[in-house]
Amino acid sequence: MARPGRPAMPKPDLHPLVDSFLDMLTAERGAAMNTRQAYWRDLADFSIYLRDKFKIELVDSSTDQIKTYLLDLGNKIHVKGKKRNQIATRTVARRLSALRQFYRYLVSENIRKDDPTTTIDSPKQTRTLPKTLSESEVSILIKTAGQGGGGDSVRLVCLLEMLYATGLRVSELVGLPMSAIGEDTQFLMVAGKGGRERMVPLSEPAQKAVKTYLDVRQQFIGPDDTGNQAQWLFPSRTSESGHLTRQRFAQLLKDLADRAEIDADRVSPHILRHAFATHLLSNGADLRSVQKMLGHADIATTQIYTHLVGDKVKKTVQEKHPLSKTGTDV
C-alpha cells in the first residue's frame, strides 16, 4: 500500500518460481497473508537488485552476489544515531532468512543443485528488550479514548480494552470475524500464526467494552455493503479488506497518545501487546499461560518478558516454573 499522497509503486514481474514458493508457504506452512507479503517484498527487492546490477534472475544468483547485495543493503539504510546499526542488522538478517528459505525450496524441488546461502553467516544481533508501558499509562490511554464521544471513541476504547486484555497481534485483532465472539463475550476464538487456533479469555472491562461497541458497530458498515464488511467485528467502509486496517489502528493510537500527552513513539499495537504480557507476569501469572494467550509456539519467545519485570517476579518465574529448568536460552 502506498503512503497517502504518493502514487503506488509499479509491481515488478518476478520469476514464476517466487509465486510457487509463496504458494508453498501458504499451503504447507500455513503462512498468513502478512507473512506472504513480507517474503514477496524481500524477494522482490533482491530480484530488482540482481537485474539492475548483474542482469540476471533470482534463481541464478551466486553466493558472492548475495553477499554483495547484503553489504549494499546494510550500507544504504539511512537512520541517524545508535539505532542505525540495530536496524541495519535486523533488516539484513531478515532479508537473508527470506533468501535462505527460497533457495532451500529451489533445492528441494531439484531446480538448483546448490544453495548459495549455506556459507553466509547471519549478522550477530544484540538482543533488545521489548518496549512497554506502565499500568497507569495504559489506564490513561483508555480513559482518554473514552473522552472523545461518539462511535469512533466507543470503538477505540473497545480496541484498547481487547488488546490489553488479550495481547493479540494487531493483525489478529483487526481481522477478527464476528464469529470469534461467543454469545456471552467471555472468550475469543483466535486464528493465529500457522493456522493455530487458541481460546483467549476477555476481562470484565473488555467484555463491557465489546457490548457497548456492538451497539454502535452498524455505523461502520456502509449502506451498500454486500457482506464483506458485516462479517468483521471491526468493519470499515474504506478498506479493501472490509475491516479496520493495521495501519489505521496504529495511526489512531498515535493520535490518542498525543491527546494523552504520552510520547507517541512509545505507543503502538505491538507495545500494548508487550504491556499485556509484562503486566501479567508482574502480577504473578504463569509463564505457560501467558505463552498460550500470546500464541507463541516456543516458550523461549515468551521468556524475554521476564527481563522486563522486577527481580522478585523474575526469581519466582525462574525458581517455580517447570520450563525454566530446561535451560532454554532466550
Estimate the crossing angle of helix 16-29 against helix 33-53, to 10 degrees: 160
Half-sphere exposure of 107 (CA within 13 A, CB side): 12
> What does the alpha-carbon distance between residue 267 and residue 141 come to, in Å, rounded to a whole number?
9
Which one from 112, 193, 292, 314 is the annotated catalytic residue?
193
Residue 90 is a catalytic residue? no
**Could you say which DSSP state residue 181 is in?**
B
Q: Which of 95, 155, 169, 217 is catalytic?
A: 169
Residue 307 is among the residues annotated as catalytic for this protein: no
Distance CA 203, CA 283 (A): 15
Catalytic position from the list 90, 208, 248, 270: 270
Alpha carbon separation from 91 to 37, 59, 119 (Å, rounded)? 16, 22, 19
Catalytic residue flag (residue 274): no
* CA–CA dist 111, 98 (Å, integer): 17
Q: Annotated catalytic residue: which of 95, 155, 243, 273?
A: 273
C-alpha cell at 21: 514458493
Beta bridge partners of 197: 191
> Catalytic site residue 321?
no
Which among 217, 274, 279, 296 is annotated as catalytic? Answer: 296
* 243 tagged catalytic: no
Is 292 one of the catalytic residues?
no
**Active site members:** 169, 193, 270, 273, 296, 305
